[in-house]
Amino acid sequence: MKPDEPFTLEVLQSEATLSRYDNHIVRTLSSMKGQYADQAAYDAMLAEQDTVLYEVYEVRRPEVPGELLHGLSVVHPGKVGDEYFMTKGHFHTVLETAEVYYCLRGRGVMVMETPEGDWAIEELHPGRVLYVPPRWAHRSVNTSLDEPLLTFFVYPGNSGHDYGTIEQQGFRKLVLCREDQTVYIDNPNWSPPGKGHAD
Ligand code: PAN
Ligand code: ZN
């Protein structure tokens, strides 16, 4: 079989070059039901408008171990109650697969945790590379209220995405804006791995 040809991509230029990506995913508020701590703020915001929270631009490659899936993640600025806009977050279905994130623009954090309940939060700013090791669930949070958080990501083709575990148990830590400061607090609704949801 003839091997694929090498190819290049302008990761970030104009709206026009973004159209070079193969796939564009748009996640709005309605897709994050139950993920924000302040349910009343969530409901009120959704009643106004199904706001776009984040977008993902993917280069489509075969989902097999030797391939690398890559693309651009854009988390828009904003809050639901005190909680910054963020991605759903997920474990990789193949838990032993890692991921690299390279921050291109904006300010943010990556909230991470393992199935055993260990947690970590790393700051993202332009020029910083974050290595998410195998086993760590990950969620990007935009901690700037003025500009989008742009990251480039790369992960193995066979990783897959397990969203259900996080939808059920949440992340252990929440990233909030309190009196203009970014604070990390314990998620009161977090249920320990394997214990199901708190309510
Ligand atoms: C990224 C994420 C992207 C959006 O490509 O998929 O940032 O986040 P959610 O998938 O949690 O909605 C990645 O981590 N892929 O594995
Ligand atoms: Zn991932």
**pLDDT value of residue 12:** 74
Average pLDDT over residues 105-114: 98
The structural domains of the chain, with segments of one domain joined by +, span: 11-186
Give distance in angstroms: CA of 44 to centre of ligand 2.
30
Which residue is closest in CA terms to ligand 1's atom 8?
87
Give distance in angstroms: CA of 88 to centre of ligand 1.
8
Shortest-distance atom of ligand 1 to CA 73:
7
Average pLDDT over residues 42-70: 97
- pLDDT tens digit string along 18-51? 778 899 999 999 999 999 999 999 999 999 999 9
Average pLDDT over residues 146-175: 97
Q: Which ligand is nearest to the CA of 139?
A: 1
Fold of 11-186: Jelly Rolls (2.60.120)
Shortest-distance atom of ligand 1 to CA 155:
16
Residue 144: phi and psi, rounded to 5, are -100, 135
Name the pTM for this structure: 0.94
Q: What percent of the chain has pLDDT over 90?
A: 85
Burial of 10 (C-beta count, 10 Å sphere; 0-12/13-18/19+): exposed
Residue 199: pLDDT over 60: no
Q: Please state which of the ranges 3-7, 32-36, 74-78, 138-142 shows the lowest mean pLDDT.
A: 3-7
Q: Does ligand 1 come within 6 angstroms of the Cβ of 88? A: yes
3-class secondary structure for 101-118? EEEEECCEEEEEECCCCC
Q: Does ligand 1 come within 6 angstroms of the Cβ of 155? A: yes
Which residue is closest in CA terms to ligand 1's atom 10?
89
Cα–Cα dist 146/105, whole Å: 12
Give distance in angstroms: CA of 2 to centre of ligand 1.
31
Which residue is closest in CA terms to ligand 1's atom 11?
89
- pLDDT tens digit string along 120-154? 999 999 999 999 999 999 999 999 999 999 999 99
Cα–Cα dist 124/127, whole Å: 9
